[in-house]
Amino acid sequence: MLIELEVVMKRTFAQSIMSAAALACMTGALPSFAAAQEQVKIGFVFFLSGPGAAYGSHARDGTKLIVEALNAGKVPAPYDKPGINGLPIQAVFVDEAGGAQKQLAEYRRLVEREQVDMVIGYNSSGDCNAIAPVAEELRVLTDFFHCGNPQLFEDIVTEPLYSVRTAPTGTMDQVAAAKYLLEKMPGIKTVSGINQDYSWGQDSWTEFKAAMSALKPDIQYPAASFTKLGTSDYGAEISTLLGTPSEALFSSFWGGDADAFALQASTRGLDQKSKFVLTMGTGIIDDLGEKAIVGSIFGARGPHGYFARKTPLSAWFKAEYGKTYNRMPPFGAYAAAQGIFGIKAAYEKAAAGAAGKQKTEAVIAALKGLTFDTASGFPATMANNDGHQAIQATAYGVYSGWDKARNEAIITEVKVYPAECVNPPNGVRAVDWIKSGFKGAKC
């Protein structure tokens, strides 16, 4: 499979510096970078082909926008310092498609041949699980910007040094979904599930059931299906769910899988039998638009997209994305922006005013306890796993139709859940916290 490699800075670095310096002297319009011979080279790994590209292409587009704007010094405060600590960013894009073994080879190539300073990427929890031990071995700062499986730091790398995650785990998705569903349907008695058959889907269903049972012990789960990542035909699963319909149907599907299932399920009327609860449902709305399932409860792996809160930074991001791509930024773009902003904030905190490159270990140390601004307008805090794992607020709402005049979804009944309400406390395993009745939660 062709691996897409793109370098954001199209001219050579020397040409860029010369041109920038000349123009700056004439106009003062462009930033002057701190050290002409230095740059921060980042490997970005997103799904760029296959079913996952429905998500990864948005992350790539958001990254391109952010990198170009940072290099031009056009991002609002607190990210108005050009590049990262005054150093221009060089981006190398790699396709995440192909499976864990391929990604291991690609990761080593990024580190050993491309000599990147850090890596930001990976949506698949399976890929994150495979890469994290190698990141520790090679001592390269690696930000798993969006995979959400708690086991990454609970079981795979239990004392991370170089592996970080600037996005919350999926635990908050399941806990908030359960709370939201019971607020809307307090008398509900049955919930079924359909999820992907790997760590993300399995963890999501386990946590959602645990959360529902903790909140309503008499709930029943008539059916649970797990499908291979990249499945295109869900006929058998839909027949099973239609044969034993539950009042609600939970799914953590994402990317092309989510789109295909939603289209097939609505065609056969499954949405008329069960209330859909879609933790990644905003991705379906981003891709399918007015063909999304009206009345479905949906989340966005955080307060992204339609849930974003207006701040100068979030307003700038929405406006620039719309101007560049002629659409609202999808949630994958928000997640990528958050990954970049978190690392930039830590890097510049570590620098403490000093110019030039900073040691990787100093950047990682600066992440501990760091609260940083995001493109969604809701700050994230590196509160768990000794500062390697973020927590953040999240939100759920109902997709109520399509506004053709604005070319946007109509979202109603939005509720935001504080970070400390839906994320486990530091040092507590996710499922144990849920089964304890959310001990220590601050709602």
For 223-263, how does the pLDDT look when each residue is reduced to its tens digit (9 = 90+)?
999 999 889 999 999 999 999 999 999 999 998 999 999 99
Q: How confident is the model at residue 37 (pLDDT cuts 50, 70, 90)?
A: low
Q: For 185-206, what is the mean pLDDT?
A: 95
Beta-sheet strands, E only, within 272-384: 275-278, 297-298, 371-372, 380-384
Mean pLDDT, the chain, integer: 91
Give the distance from CA 185 to its chain's centroid.
28
Decide if 181 is inside a domain: yes
Q: For 76-97, what is the mean pLDDT?
A: 98
Residues 45 and 121 occupy one common structural domain: yes
**In what helix (H) or strand (E) does residue 15 lie, and over which residues does it extend?**
helix 13-27
d(CA 110, CA 419): 34
Query: Residue 357 carries which side chain, given as an amino acid letter?
Result: K
Examine the pLDDT at 269 and tell me if it is beyond 90. yes
**In what helix (H) or strand (E) does residue 415 lie, and over which residues does it extend?**
strand 408-417
Decide if 7 is inside a domain: no
Q: Are 109 and 43 in contact (CB under 8 A)?
A: no
Q: How confident is the model at residue 5 (pLDDT cuts 50, 70, 90)?
A: very low
Q: Evaluate if pTM is beyond 0.85.
A: yes
Residues 42 and 161 occupy one common structural domain: yes
Examine the pLDDT at 16 and tell me if it is beyond 60. no
Examine the pLDDT at 70 and tell me if it is beyond 90. yes
Percentage of the chain modeled with pLDDT above 90:
86
Examine the pLDDT at 80 and tell me if it is beyond 60. yes
**In what helix (H) or strand (E) does residue 250 lie, and over which residues does it extend?**
strand 248-251
pLDDT on residue 255: 87
Decide if 3 is inside a domain: no
pLDDT on residue 11: 34
Tell me the residue range of the domain where 152 lies. Answer: 13-168+308-392
Decide if 128 is inside a domain: yes
Decide if 378 is inside a domain: yes
Examine the pLDDT at 79 and tell me if it is beyond 90. yes
Q: Are 181 and 248 in contact (CB under 8 A)?
A: yes
Find tokens 């006929």 and name the residue: 235
Residues 312 and 302 occupy one common structural domain: no
Q: How confident is the model at residue 199 (pLDDT cuts 50, 70, 90)?
A: confident
d(CA 342, CA 145): 10
Decide if 150 is inside a domain: yes
Examine the pLDDT at 34 and tell me if it is beyond 50. no
Residues 404 and 263 occupy one common structural domain: yes
Examine the pLDDT at 14 and tell me if it is beyond 70. no
Examine the pLDDT at 430 and tell me if it is beyond 90. yes
pLDDT digits (tens, 9 = 90+) for 275-317: 999 999 988 998 898 999 999 999 999 999 999 999 999 999 9
pLDDT on residue 286: 87
Residues 95 and 243 occupy one common structural domain: no
pLDDT on residue 150: 94
Dihedral sign (CA 427, 382, 119, 3): positive
pLDDT digits (tens, 9 = 90+) for 255-268: 899 999 999 999 99
Examine the pLDDT at 409 and tell me if it is beyond 60. yes
Examine the pLDDT at 4 and tell me if it is beyond 80. no
pLDDT digits (tens, 9 = 90+) for 122-155: 999 999 999 999 999 999 999 999 999 999 999 9
CATH of the domain at 407: 3.40.50.2300
d(CA 135, CA 68): 27
Q: For 31-44, what is the mean pLDDT?
A: 72
Residues 260 and 340 occupy one common structural domain: no
Strands 141-144 and 163-164: parallel
Could you tell me if residue 371 is left (phi over 0), alpha (psi between -120 and 50 degrees) or otherwise beta? beta
**In what helix (H) or strand (E) does residue 414 lie, and over which residues does it extend?**
strand 408-417
Q: For 423-442, what is the mean pLDDT?
A: 96
Examine the pLDDT at 23 and tell me if it is beyond 70. no
Residues 334 and 406 occupy one common structural domain: no
287 or 45: which leads in pLDDT: 45
Domain count, the chain: 2
SS3 annotation, 173-239 = HHHHHHHHHHHHCCCCCEEEEEEECCHHHHHHHHHHHHHHHHHCCCCECCCEEEECCCCCCCHHHHH
Residues 275 and 126 occupy one common structural domain: no
Residue 249 DSSP SS3: strand
Dihedral sign (CA 254, 255, 256, 260): positive
Residues 338 and 303 occupy one common structural domain: no
pLDDT digits (tens, 9 = 90+) for 357-369: 999 999 999 999 9
Residues 299 and 315 occupy one common structural domain: no
pLDDT on residue 51: 87
Decide if 441 is inside a domain: no
d(CA 251, CA 261): 10
Examine the pLDDT at 344 and tell me if it is beyond 80. yes
Quick one: which of 229, 146, 285, 328 has its CA closest to 276? 285
Examine the pLDDT at 352 and tell me if it is beyond 80. yes
Residues 135 and 109 occupy one common structural domain: yes
Q: How confident is the model at residue 407 (pLDDT cuts 50, 70, 90)?
A: confident
Decide if 48 is inside a domain: yes
33 or 18: which leads in pLDDT: 33
Residues 341 and 248 occupy one common structural domain: no
